[in-house]
Structure 1
C-alpha cells in the first residue's frame, strides 16, 4: 500500500520566491490497484510520480510504502527501497548500445553480489558462499530472469536485437521488462503510451493488465489520455492547480457531471 500524507513540493524560482507544484496531497493507493493520475498541463502530475520514488524530494509531507516512510531513508536504505519501485517512461530510455537482453539485465547487473537474492536460498546460506560462487550464481540467475521476462512481454525472439531495430511498441515492452527485473511491488508509468499509435497502445495496456493480474504489482499511471484511464485504471485521482480535486473509483469520478475539471478532461482538452 502507498500512503501519501500532506505531500507538498516547492521549487525555488528566484530569491525568496517559490513555486508550489504540489500542495497538501493526501492519497491512498491499495495493493494491486491500477491507479491513474490525470490533470491539465502544469497540474503537477510528473512531479507527483517522481516524488513517489524520490527522484524529487518532497518539501513537506510523507510517503509510506507498506508502512515505511521512504522520505526518511537515505543512502543504502533508500537504494534497497527503490528496488521495490520500477518505472517506465514515454520515450523508453533504453541503452541503445546494449541489446535487449542486456537492457533488461541492467538493474540486476549493477546490483552488488552480496545484495543479490537467489530464489530458494536463505540469506545466511548465500552470505556463507565464496565470492566466485556468488558471481556464478548471480550470472545464472540474471540469465534466468531475463528469459522469464522476455516470455512475459512476448519478445523471446528479440533477445539479441538492439533497440534501433525494434518498433516503438517493442521498445516499450523491453522497458517494461527492465522495470520488472528486480521484482518490484510498484510500477510507475510516466506517459507510457503517449508516443505510441492507438493499436500499439492497446497491446501495451493489455500487457500491463496481464502483469498486474499475474504478478500482483501495483501500477501508478500518469497520462493525458482519458481512454487509457478508462480502459485500464480501476481508480483515478484528478490533479488541478497542484491539488487533488477528485479521487476514487474511475467510473464514479468520471461519472460526476458536476466536476468542471473532469468535464474538461473528458471533453478532450489538453491534459
Structure 2
C-alpha cells in the first residue's frame, strides 16, 4: 500500500522527467523569490523584533530571560515558517494546480475532471487558497495563544507538530482534489477518513519545508506525491488493497 514517503519519493522522480520539468521551474522561481525576501527581512529585523518583545517583559521577570529569550526565538521562527508557507501557497497556487493536473495525466493516464479554462482555473485556485487560509489561520492563532498559557504550553510543541502536519495535508492534497471537483468540505472529510495517510504525508511535507533551499526543489515532488496518494487512497473514499504506481 502506498505510503507518504514512497509517494513523495516517486513524485520527485516524476516531476524532473522530460515533459514535466517545465511545470516545475515556475513554482521554484516563485518560491525562491519569496524565500529570499523573507530571509532578508528576518536578517534585517530579527534583532529589533527580539529587543522589542523583551522590552515588554516586566523587570521582576528578568531572571527568566534565559527561558523567555529562546521562547521568543522559537515563536518568531514559527511565524516566519507559516508566513513563508502561506504566502508561497497563495502566490503559486495556480502553478501548483497545473502541475498536479499534468502529473495526474502522466502518472495515472486519467484526465482530471476539471474542465475550466486557464484563466478561470487560476482565479479559482486563488479563491481556494483564501478558503484554506480562512480555515488554517484562526486555528493557528488559537494555538499560538495556547502556547503562552502555563501548563498547556508544555504540550505546545506536540500540538504544533500535529497542526503543521494537518495544515500541510490540507494545503497539498487539496490540489488534485480541487482538480477533480472535490469540495473543500468533502476534501476535509476524506482526509479525516484516512487520517493516518493524511498526517503522515503532512508530517513529511512539514519536514521538507524546513530544509533551507532544498525545500524549493522538493515541494514540486510533494505535489506529485499528493496526486499519487489521491489516486491510491482518496479518489473513491477508500484505500485499495494495493496502489497501482507508475514504473
TM-score by length of 2: 0.30
Q: Which has the higher contact order (CA 8 A, sep 6+)?
A: 2
Instruction: Kindly indicate which of the two structures has a greater share of residues assigned to strand.
Output: 1
Instruction: Kindly indicate which of the two structures has a greater share of residues assigned to helix.
Output: 2
